[in-house]
Structure 1
Amino acid sequence: MTRRTVRIAMNGVTGRMGYRQHLIRSVLAIREQGGLRLGDGTVLWPEPLLVGRRETALRELADRHGLDHWSTDLDTVLSDPAVEVYFDAQVTSARVPAVRRAIAAGKHVYCEKPTATSFEEALELARLAREAGVRNGVVQDKLFLPGLRKLRRLVDGGFFGRVLSVRGEFGYWVFEGDWQPAQRPSWNYRVRDGGGITVDMFPHWDYVLHELFGRVTSVQALSTTHVPRRWDEDGEPYEATADDAAYGIFQLASGAVAQFNSSWAVRVHRDELLELQVDGTHGSAVAGLRDCRVQHRSATPRPAWDPDGPPADRFRAQWQQVPDNEPGGFGNAFREQWEHFLRHVAADGPWSWDLLAGARGVQLAELGRRSSAEGRRLDVPELTR
């Protein structure tokens, strides 16, 4: 058995998502399990090199986790031939120039979404990566969640028959920051920094719909700012210029209709923060982050409408849980995709979640915002490779 070290420049891991999901629960978790075993018996060993602007924060993270390498100089890091992969989890507005430099340096690129604040720039990154011949990928973590993997199993098994509709509910209450600290950074609420829930979540809905149910062909959306005044990390008030809620209707190539409500100004009254209901001619399913429940047409009850009395049916009890059926259980969704990408870098596995797929998500977000501004439904052009 041989061990192959892959040095990864990780930019933006001082932020919440970059630190918890990508550094700790993905790259360091792969190391804790002894590396990633490839098909030929080689063990891939990820070696993170932390990159960022704040020297003190980087040093503290490196010391906390026993890491030897960190830097505030991205250009020096990218000039190092030992660095094979560049990962970006910075604020969206800083992503494009950094990814451009990484591609120009010949590094394989893996990054968070959205890949850019404009479709034009997102498409440019996909083109640059293709022309440079570097392997590239975009985080599409929700595809690897247990609930959505069970949903995919149902789709692949023909459970739904013809899919008629998909309805998604996502969100939670983000505190304003005055009397309780906000759970999201203030840049999320500033347009100039690439903030806004349409830009943040429509790329997710694009890849979920595209991978499970087919291509989005049109969008009609309404984006709004329900809470216009918030308080930042220093306790200072500011005006929110970005949308905190988006309501979208998407037509799919199959004829099915999808509707997603996304909000940082909603209180949760459902089992999970994300729930999808899929209705088909042969059956329906409700999937969350972890669980999935189904109701087949042969077991569909006949509800009775009676507004003058208490409900006779316990509707939730009429659904059946989809079993895990996963040997060893489900792993962390971010780590699962990291493992796929590292195999892709080592030419040891297939890969489809590239920068062009990321550009498709940015395209849908951009069209969603335009649809809201113009008050009309817009067609979504198909992107071809």
Structure 2
Amino acid sequence: MSTRTLRIAMNGVTGRMGYRQHLVRSLLPIRDAGGIELEDGSRLQVELVLVGRREGKLAELAALHDIEEWTTDVEKAIAVCDVYFDAQVTSRRPAALRAAMAAGKHIYTEKPTAETLDEAIELARLAEKSGVTVGVVHDKLYLPGLVKLRRLVEEGFFGRILSLRGEFGYWVLEGDHQPAQRPSWNYRKEDGGGIAVDMFCHWNYVLEGILGRVDTVTAKTVTHIPTRWDEAGKEYTATADDAAYGTFEITTPGGDPVIAQINSSWTVRVHRDELVEFQVDGTHGSAVAGLRNCVAQQRAHTPKPVWNPDLPATEPFREQWMDVPANGELDNGFKVQWEEFLRDVAAGRQHRFGLLSAARGVQLAELGLASSEQGRTLPVPEISL
């Protein structure tokens, strides 16, 4: 069978996420495996063009990974590619996405897609008019742990779902004694930083993908660490929130109400099995999912704890849960979504996660910040194009 090649301009590969997850763990393995097999038995290969602002770093990465072409000229990259991918900082993303769609290029992008809801909706409208295939990274839904959790939901394991509890985060070093493991712009509101802006767009598609539509949001955002040190060791004032505590009311497709609580923090020390964990409780069972693992407890196997603060707890609570098997090979979530998107491009169809989904994520972040500022619960209106 024949092999078709798609040229992909990768903008933002000098950043942590663009390099590690999208280049090294997704597209390079696809390229080195000879591409992906399509529905008709033919193959689709990828040819990469690296794009960024640092010439030296781009040249280094191109040489390291046997990539022939790189450029700092975004317009040139868009002109020579079939697919434009964006992993830049959010402030630079909308203009590049507009240019790519105007040039008739397919686009695949990180999120948030824009800094404001109005701009995110505008991009979604442009995508609908353009006719190109558009995809937005929804990586967490492709993680093995959440794939298993979603399967439990679809199989009716939980009975009537009651609630979801999520814990995400870790301690990001302040930067004075040891370098911080996140970029300093994350902590400057004026540069698009803040954990609510960063993470609520994820939580929106996770909640939609597992439970149902988000109806309301109640949030409290906080800047716990007011002073940090940047990449040059210079002290600066943190103007963006580094923790966000959210409560979300959700309606399942069957009409049942669910309460979800998700804590997001860069100022928490980890005492859990993974950096993010979600617990879903229902009338017939419960499950806890992380990035890779998922454990469950059925109603018939639920023990009967008794509260007695006068005696030490002796029950092995963690041992009372059973592992949920993968029942198949679960590859890197970023890579799996890339493969799905590329098959959609080859078939000329839309990807299931587009710019409207991304706009709902921006909407939830905006409403979360507004809820915190106003101190009240806010409804989440439906977005229409």
Fold agreement, TM-score > 0.5 = yes
In structure 1, what is the equivalent of residue 247 of structure 2? 249
**Alignment partner, residue 310 of structure 2:** 308
Say if 2:236 is the partner of 1:238. yes
CA change 1:314–1:349 in 2 (3 A) is farther
Residues 58, 128 of structure 1: alpha-carbon distance in 2 compared, 3 angstrom cutoff: same
- Partner of 2:364, secondary structure, is helix
SS in 2 for 1:324: coil
Partner Cα separation in structure 2 for residue 79 and residue 18 of structure 1: 21
Tell me the residue number matched to 2:266: 264
Query: What is the letter of the counterpart of residue 55 of structure 1?
Result: E
Secondary structure of 1:79's counterpart equals helix
1:161/1:281 contact within 8 Å kept:
yes
CA distance, structure 1, for counterparts of residue 19 and residue 375 of structure 2: 39
Give the match's secondary structure for 1:309. coil
Q: Which runs of 5+ in 1 are unaligned?
A: none
Matches within 5 A, 1:109-258: 109-253=107-251, 254-258=256-260
Preserved CA contact (<8 Å) 1:36 1:45:
yes
Paired residue secondary structure (1:258): strand
Distance 2:48 2:91 in 1: 23
SS in 1 for 2:279: strand
The alignment yields a C-alpha RMSD, in angstroms, of 1.1
Q: Deviations over 1:212-270 (max 9, x none)?
A: 10000000000011111111111111111111000000000231000000000000000
Who is 2:320 aligned against? 318
How far off its partner does 1:191 sit?
A: 1.1
TM-score of the two chains, using structure 1 as the length reference: 0.97
Deviation of 1:53 after TM superposition, in Å, equals 1.1
Q: CA deviation at 1:79?
A: 2.5
Counterpart residue number, 1:46: 46
Deviation, 1:104, is 1.1
Instruction: Tell me whether 1:23 sits opposite 2:10 in the alignment.
Output: no
1:290 to 292, 306, 309: 292
Q: Name the amino acid aligned to 2:374.
A: E
Identity of aligned residues (%): 63
Alignment correspondent of 1:343: 343
Gaps of 5+ in 2: none
Aligned-partner residue type, residue 307 of structure 1: P
On the 8 A contact 1:8/1:85 being kept in 2, the answer is: yes
Specify the SS of the correspondent of 1:181.
Answer: coil
Tell me which residue corresponds to 1:3. Answer: 3
8 Å contact kept, 2:133–2:349: no
1:312 is displaced (CA, Å) by 3.0
For residue 374 of structure 1, what is the aligned residue in structure 2? Answer: 374
Say which SS state the counterpart of residue 347 (structure 2) adopts: coil
Question: Could you tell me whether the CA contact under 8 Å between 2:135 and 2:353 is conserved in 1?
Answer: yes
Q: CA deviation at 1:285?
A: 0.4
Query: How many aligned positions are there?
Result: 381
Name the counterpart of 1:96: 94
Give the whole-Å Cα distance in 2 for the aligned partners of 1:202 and 1:37. 34
Q: Which amino acid aligns with 2:206?
A: V
Residues 114, 361 of structure 1: 8 Å contact kept: yes
DSSP 3-state at the match of 1:289: coil
